[in-house]
Structure 1
Amino acid sequence: MRQERNNIFAGIDWLLVILFVILVGFGWLNIYSASKSSEDVELLSFTTKYGKQLIFICLTIPLIIIILFFNAKFYEKFSSILYIVSLLSLVGLFLFGKTINGATSWYNFGVLGLQPSEFVKAFTALAVAKLISDRQYNFKLVKNQIKAFVVIFTPALLITLQPDVGSALIYLAFFFVLHREGLTLNYIILGALAIVLFISTILFGSVWVLSILFLLITIFTIYAAYRGGKRFLRFNWYKVLGVYLIVGLFILGTGFAYNNVFKQHHRDRFEILLGLKKDNQGIGYNSHQSELTISSGGFGGKGFLKGDLTQGDFVPEQHTDYIFSVIGEEWGFLGSSFVIILFMLMMYRVIYLAETHTNKFGRIYGYSLASILFFHVIVNIGMVIGLLPTVGIPLPFFSYGGSALWGFTILLFIFIRLDAHKNYDW
């Protein structure tokens, strides 16, 4: 048993490894297609996007070996330290970071740039798993719920201040994990209601939404008086008024923030998405071209390197957040479905393996991995096909960038290591 434990490849789930290899390999083919020009001849070259990405892919091999070298106990024991170090890496950006496209999200090391927010997700997942897996942790206690929220939203706040709202939104995925571990569904319902109120306020304005809300409460009051009789007089109306006050402040705050805090390009994206504005040549150009590129692929696609819109660079920065449009044009509906199925298989496999863990730490981390992957895939693809606003979230294992690739590799292979040791006494 000890000999198997010392073998870093013993017990690992090869299905997850195979899915990882297929996704990364197929992702590189699409980056190659999106960034290749007739003058490019070298594969391993920092002068081309696909050359850089191939080097990043090669560097995942020693990274994976290092991750598998440590046993599962290491990740549980040092999860808090890793989390604190990751927070310090975010704080350091405000002193030593490089500003790109208005966000101070990168450390510059000559030819190499690193985005720490891509790595913090894995260490936050470890910290959440460590906190909740404690035997004395009880989710029914409000103070424990607050502890979990602090662990999750501290990095989200630091990332928001960069500002990089898209990367910060990913931390909402942890609510799925918390719900699995006993957090009441009310939080998710409140979150959904907040989104509905936010969109309603943008569409109709604060005054109309507040008026409709007041009308609904009035109707409820009349109905309660009619059905309640004398009990109506004993009803806790201060609670209803308190809820109305809180919701009213939220609506007014949303209206104020939208008009005075949000930048114009953020407002434009929401208004284009909600149909309040049409701007296919300005702020909505990327999304519009992405939709045209995907729809042009049809059922079977145009073929590898034969996508005229892709080869013509009609979608700006197509090799990054809009990489799914390459898949849609050159591989069609079949190829797009294949990619989505691969992600679904990976997430299903992670959840299945997580449920087999007798160690709570491994299970919680597995659900964190699956939730983060799910959030990334849904938001990125929804953004590319025009169902969600552009928020700058990469497609896992596909979008160009060493930080994103290595961040997801760390996130996945830590779970693979935890799963390989699930039958051992940590």
Structure 2
Amino acid sequence: MNNQRSFFFNVDWLTVLIYLALCTIGWFNIHAAVFDETHPSLIDLDTNYGKQFIFIISAVVLGSVILLLDSRFISGLAPVVYVTTVLLLMVVLVVGKNVGGNQAWIPLGSFRLQPSEFAKFSTCLLLARYLSGVNVRITEFKSFLMAAGIIALPMLLIMLQPDTGSTLVFCSLIFVLYREGLSPYFLIIAGLLIALFVLSLLFNQLYLIGILIILSVAAAFLLRLRREGLVALAGGLIISIAFIFSVNFLYNNVLQPHQKSRIDELLGIKTDLRGAGYNVNQSKIAIGSGKLWGKGYLQGTQTKYAFVPAQSTDFIFCTVGEEWGFAGSIVVIGLFMFLLLRIIIMAERQRSPFSRVYGYGVASIIFFHVIINIGMTIGLVPVIGIPLPFISYGGSSLWSFTILLFILIKLDSNRLGHVL
């Protein structure tokens, strides 16, 4: 009895309440996004909002089951879960159903399972299991290589589908490695490479290389670099020039045509409001038309007349902006920020390295999804097609995020007990 009472009081119920609030908001906005007057009921199973109700109920049951598990069982199961999801990612390449150009779903009767969603929490689990090992130091090349391999394997398999959006989500786990001791220079280098990629698309590459050479020479003189510094600067310059020359190959041979069009539209290289820029343009119209307080529940014209594609999945935030306005949008964003704050607090108060690493993995993935999803609906980032956690329509997405979050809640509830 005492153990049960202790468990009850140790669970972070505030985080659970935020989770339930986001799921409820998602359910109502899916109802508004695809509302059918012939099926007005929120629990009509012939509609997406009726199906989402079932997904939410099953997700709550799933989360409750996770809270009843032994924490040591979760840690021990990490390799098995990871291998299982990797195998599913291989299976989907063979028997998967192609939807929207991505072979990412395994058909199971009337339901479709998306293994890439479940690969997120399984990768976090195995990464936490590895980095919490006794002799593992992320500053050592061998440990870094192993951690990078754990992240890279599902990324490679998902890229083969090809699903660029889900692939990029795994890049957010670099923040986990940074928290565990990875040099901040890796983050700086990653940021510089992204900047070089964008600049290479906007400007003549020869001019860009010339500017880099001038800046490098100026830095060498102003900083009075010695031999070691000059070698490092020269190495960085050579790598940068090689990367700039490789941009054209990457852009023309790796990215899909629709992805290139979206990047061109975002950077202003091309303007095509009836083609690549249509989704984002309609999305911004919908969100802007909501003004301060919104048009009201089920009153969104952009939503009601389906001007915004994928309005119950990737572009669900448009419904929030149009029907609930700026005020409603701030509430949703505020709930996500509060959730992320709770997750980081939980991660930092763990006695177990496994739980801490896993907690930062959860924070990284949810943060990436929220920033990119909302960013693409208002035209700040390219459209890469990833859901808004707990709000977008879909069983695989909701279940995977539920498992991702509730494993952390379970680990946190046991933080004063045994150390994993």
Q: What is the TM-score with the length of structure 2 in the denominator?
A: 0.95
Partner deviation per Cα, 1:228-269 (whole Å, 9 max, x = no partner)? 7xxx6x566444333222211111111222133323221111
Match of 1:387 among 375, 380, 390: 380
Determine whether 1:255 maps to 2:254: no
Determine whether 1:405 maps to 2:398: yes
SS at match of 1:105: strand
SS at match of 2:273: coil
Determine whether 1:4 maps to 2:9: no
Displacement, 1:54?
Answer: 1.1
> CA distance change for structure 1 residues 45 and 303 in 2, over 3 Å: closer, same or farther?
closer
> CA distance change for structure 1 residues 268 and 312 in 2, over 3 Å: closer, same or farther?
same
Matches for 1:138-153 after TM superposition, within 5 Å: 138-153=137-152
Matches for 1:101-112 after TM superposition, within 5 Å: 101-112=100-111
Residue type of the alignment partner of 2:356: R
> CA distance change for structure 1 residues 208 and 182 in 2, over 3 Å: closer, same or farther?
same
Residue type of the alignment partner of 1:32: H
Determine whether 1:362 maps to 2:361: no
Displacement, 1:221?
Answer: 4.9
Structure 1 match to 2:46:
47
Judge conservation of contact 1:129–1:364 (CA < 8 Å) in 2: yes
Aligned-residue identity in percent: 42
Judge conservation of contact 2:220–2:230 (CA < 8 Å) in 1: no
SS at match of 2:370: helix
SS at match of 2:255: coil
Q: Which runs of 5+ in 2 are unaligned?
A: none
Structure 1 match to 2:70:
71
Judge conservation of contact 1:127–1:151 (CA < 8 Å) in 2: yes
Judge conservation of contact 1:71–1:421 (CA < 8 Å) in 2: no
Structure 2 match to 1:168:
167
Distance 2:219 2:341 in 1: 43
Determine whether 1:313 maps to 2:312: no
Distance 1:186 1:220 in 2: 18
Distance 1:153 1:109 in 2: 28
Structure 2 match to 1:211:
210
Residue type of the alignment partner of 2:403: I
Residue type of the alignment partner of 2:4: E
> CA distance change for structure 1 residues 13 and 277 in 2, over 3 Å: closer, same or farther?
same
> CA distance change for structure 1 residues 17 and 247 in 2, over 3 Å: closer, same or farther?
same
Displacement, 1:360?
Answer: 1.2
Partner deviation per Cα, 1:352-410 (whole Å, 9 max, x = no partner)? 12211111111111111111111110010000011011000110000010010001000
Distance 1:235 1:376 in 2: 41
Displacement, 1:42?
Answer: 4.7
Q: What is the TM-score with the length of structure 1 in the denominator?
A: 0.94
Judge conservation of contact 1:351–1:367 (CA < 8 Å) in 2: yes
Distance 1:413 1:159 in 2: 24
Residue type of the alignment partner of 1:4: Q
Q: How many residue pairs get matched?
A: 419
Distance 2:403 2:128 in 1: 16
> CA distance change for structure 1 residues 259 and 96 in 2, over 3 Å: closer, same or farther?
closer
SS at match of 1:170: helix
Matches for 1:254-293 after TM superposition, within 5 Å: 254-293=247-286
Distance 1:62 1:212 in 2: 58
Partner deviation per Cα, 1:203-222 (whole Å, 9 max, x = no partner)? 01322222222232343455
Structure 1 match to 2:25:
26
SS at match of 2:98: strand
Distance 2:414 2:346 in 1: 12
Distance 1:344 1:3 in 2: 32
Residue type of the alignment partner of 1:298: K
Structure 1 match to 2:134:
135
Displacement, 1:45?
Answer: 4.1
Determine whether 1:373 maps to 2:366: yes
Distance 1:372 1:177 in 2: 10
> CA distance change for structure 1 residues 193 and 169 in 2, over 3 Å: closer, same or farther?
same
> CA distance change for structure 1 residues 60 and 215 in 2, over 3 Å: closer, same or farther?
same
SS at match of 2:271: coil
> CA distance change for structure 1 residues 217 and 27 in 2, over 3 Å: closer, same or farther?
same
> CA distance change for structure 1 residues 331 and 240 in 2, over 3 Å: closer, same or farther?
same
Residue type of the alignment partner of 1:194: L
> CA distance change for structure 1 residues 235 and 408 in 2, over 3 Å: closer, same or farther?
closer
Q: Which runs of 5+ in 1 are unaligned?
A: none
Distance 2:207 2:91 in 1: 44
Displacement, 1:9?
Answer: 4.8
Distance 2:217 2:182 in 1: 32
SS at match of 1:393: coil
Residue type of the alignment partner of 1:253: S
Residue type of the alignment partner of 2:166: S
Judge conservation of contact 1:322–1:384 (CA < 8 Å) in 2: yes
Superposition CA RMSD, Å: 1.8
Displacement, 1:348?
Answer: 0.6
Determine whether 1:424 maps to 2:417: yes
Residue type of the alignment partner of 1:321: D
Displacement, 1:128?
Answer: 1.0
Residue type of the alignment partner of 2:173: F
Judge conservation of contact 1:9–1:68 (CA < 8 Å) in 2: no
Displacement, 1:69?
Answer: 2.6
